[in-house]
Amino acid sequence: MRRRDAASSREEGIWARGKGRQQQAAALQQVVKMPKRTLLTYYSSLSNTNTSDPPLNNEIASQSKRPRAEFSHMDIIGDPGERKPIENYQLEIRDQVKRVYALSGPTQPDICTFPRKWRSGEWRSFQKAWFNEFDWLEYSVLKDAAYCLYCYLFFQLEKPKKFGSAVFAKEGFVNWKKAKDRLATHSNCKTHNDTRKKMRRLYEPKDKYI
- 210 residues of the chain, pLDDT tens digit each: 544 454 455 555 544 555 555 665 554 455 445 444 444 444 455 445 444 445 555 555 554 555 667 878 888 999 999 999 999 999 999 999 999 999 999 999 999 899 999 887 899 999 999 999 999 999 999 999 999 999 999 987 665 555 457 899 999 999 999 999 999 999 999 989 999 999 988 877 555 544
- State pTM to two decimals: 0.64
Cα distances (angstroms) measured from residue 59 to each of 62, 74, 159: 5, 32, 38
Exposure of 17 in the CB half-sphere (CA atoms within 13 A): 6
Rounded CA-CA distance 167/81 in Å is 12
